[in-house]
Amino acid sequence: MVNGINDLRVQAVEAQAGAASALEQVKLAQEESQQALNKANKLVDAFYFYEDRFALAYGDNRQYYFIDKKGNLVEKLGRWERAEQFDCRGYAKVRNRNDNQDYLLDTLGNTYAVAYNLADLHSVTTCLDLDKQQLAALPDSLWTHTQLQVLLLNENKLTALPDAIASLQQLKDVQLFKNALTSLPESFGQLQQLNALKLSYNALEHLPESFGQLKQLRSLDLAGNSLSGLPENFTQLQNLTSLSLFSNSLADLPKDFGQLNKLRTLDLGINSLSNLPESFLQLENLGTLTMSSNKLENLPTNFGQLQRLEVLHLSSNALATLPQNFGQLRKLRTLHMSRNKLVSLPENFGQLQKLSTLTLRANSLTELPESFGQLENLAELDLFKNSLSKLPDNFGRLGRLHTLNLLQNSLKSLPENFGELANLSVLKLSSNALNSLPESFGQLQHLEELDLNGNLLSTIPERFGELQQLQSLDLGFNSLSNLPNSFGELQHLNWLNLQRNSLLYPTKKLAG
């Protein structure tokens, strides 16, 4: 009987050892899988993805092709014997072996036989690329090639276009980025097949009255000109999905601007807008809106109606308040409102629960609404240079925060649950009035950079040594007379500043 029991014990021990070994193998396999996944992610990140969509790949039957961010073949973009990545103009140069002709490929899979000088133009050429050729004028012979669909004239010295451009009735894409155009001919409105037009960084002061006739336009870039107004019929461009008026001299928008209600991307940054027309709220398809560096003192009362907004830039205006329905922008992921005059945020601000990036630097905020703790997807938060004296009690619920900037506020303490911000890697608390840190501070075990310079700290928590990932630590200009015993456990620390305390340590670089 005793021998039988001993045998069972031996078997149990062996089984336990076997299970432990199997568990160890599973863990090892998991680690190897994770390492392989990390390596694959680094490789994917190393690709150049045009507009975060397509990257060039090679190797399938010794051909070039394009993949999406999941690594899948994009069939519509074809396979090629030679190919280059998509460039900033939206085209990839491609060629097949048995065809002595270069093509430009667009993101829809359309190809255009391309010539790079007028001498090579022939009847099948549908694209003329004359970028960066120092052209001050265009030859009359160009206007006889009525088969052209794409005309690329970027970075030349053109000051004007002739009326004869209207003869190119098949044009779908015209690019004149970075020339010296002061005006467009009235005949320009006859190019009624145009889908895309790039006129950025010229010297345009006005647009022709015929401009509103370009009703097939989907993408229009007028950034970096000197437009002080838009023609009356501009809002007839009702197929526009992307419009940039960045860096012009616009003081107002047409009253019926909202008729451009197919717009998904709108850039009005760096103008002189002090208000928006009521019709603006009809732009219900807007996903990205930029209005930074204007003179806006308020937003329309029902701004929250723009419920498809995902990215909103409002920095460098004169906003003192936000509409009470601002919290209805529930799809908002990125919000930049630095350098305004905000003293408070609406109580329903916490309803922006998809918000990932929020910058509110250089405002006059004295407190944050209690609902702020509901922003549980927030990863980056910048509150530099405000007047905050405290944080909401539920601030620790922002568990996905990895970067937090609270420099130059008036914080005297941090909530006890501050340590629940377990994913923080960068924390900046310089130039506040902190006289202590919560005991939970040691829970911030992913912290790599910590700036506490210029506070009133006389002690730091004993658990400080648990910040094992800490690499950079600034405790200068405090009132520290000693450090906890656990301080020596900060094995990854390679930069430390203890100047202007009651200690003998200077700023120094530590051995890694």
Task: Kindly state whether residues 157 and 275 are assigned to the same domain.
Answer: yes
Domain boundary among 262, 295, 328: 295
Report residue 474 as tokens.
């600034």
Buried b (16+ CB within 10 A) or exposed e, 132-156: eeeeeebeeebbebeebbbbbbbbb
In a domain, 177, yes or no: yes
In a domain, 264, yes or no: yes
Neighbours of 199 (CB within 10 A): 22
What's the order of all strands across the beta sheet hosting 55-60?
A: 55-60, 63-67, 79-80
Neighbours of 117 (CB within 10 A): 10
Neighbours of 25 (CB within 10 A): 10
- What is the number of structural domains in the chain? 3
Tell me the pLDDT tens digit for each residue of 310-321.
999 999 999 999
Domain boundary among 234, 260, 295: 295
Task: Kindly state whether residues 313 and 396 are assigned to the same domain.
Answer: no
Query: Is the distance from CB of 318 to CB of 273 less than 8 angstroms?
Result: no
- Non-local (6+) Cβ contacts of 193 within 8 A are 169, 170, 171, 172, 216
The yes-or-no verdict on residue 13 having pLDDT over 70 is no
- Can you give the pTM of this predicted structure? 0.88
Which pLDDT score is estimated for 61?
81
In a domain, 243, yes or no: yes
Q: How many residues does the chain have?
A: 512
- Non-local (6+) Cβ contacts of 461 within 8 A are 437, 438, 439, 441, 442, 484
Query: Is the distance from CB of 387 to CB of 365 less than 8 angstroms?
Result: yes
Task: Kindly state whether residues 257 and 286 are assigned to the same domain.
Answer: yes
Q: Is 12 helix (H, G, I), strand (E, B) or coil?
A: helix
| Closest C-alpha to 429, from 449, 448, 443 | 449
Report residue 254 as tokens.
């047409």
The yes-or-no verdict on residue 108 having pLDDT over 90 is yes
Tell me the pLDDT tens digit for each residue of 256-291.
999 999 999 999 999 999 999 999 999 999 999 999
Task: Kindly state whether residues 306 and 284 are assigned to the same domain.
Answer: no
Any long-range contacts for 347-350 (C-beta under 8 Å, 24+ apart)? 347/371, 348/324, 349/322, 349/375, 350/374, 350/375
Mean pLDDT, rounded, of the chain:
90
Indicate the pLDDT class of residue 504, thresholds 50, 70 and 90: low
Task: Kindly state whether residues 360 and 268 are assigned to the same domain.
Answer: no
Say how many CA atoms lie within 13 Å of 211 toward its Cβ: 19
CA distances from 145 to 120, 123, 164, 171, 195 (A): 12, 8, 11, 11, 19
State the CATH number of the domain containing residue 433: 3.80.10.10
Tell me the pLDDT tens digit for each residue of 408-455.
999 999 999 999 999 999 999 999 999 999 999 999 999 999 999 999
Strands (E), 268-317: 288-290, 311-313
The yes-or-no verdict on residue 53 having pLDDT over 70 is yes
**Residue 250, domain extent:** 110-295
Domain boundary among 268, 295, 322: 295
Task: Kindly state whether residues 269 and 320 are assigned to the same domain.
Answer: no
Task: Kindly state whether residues 197 and 340 are assigned to the same domain.
Answer: no
- Non-local (6+) Cβ contacts of 40 within 8 A are none
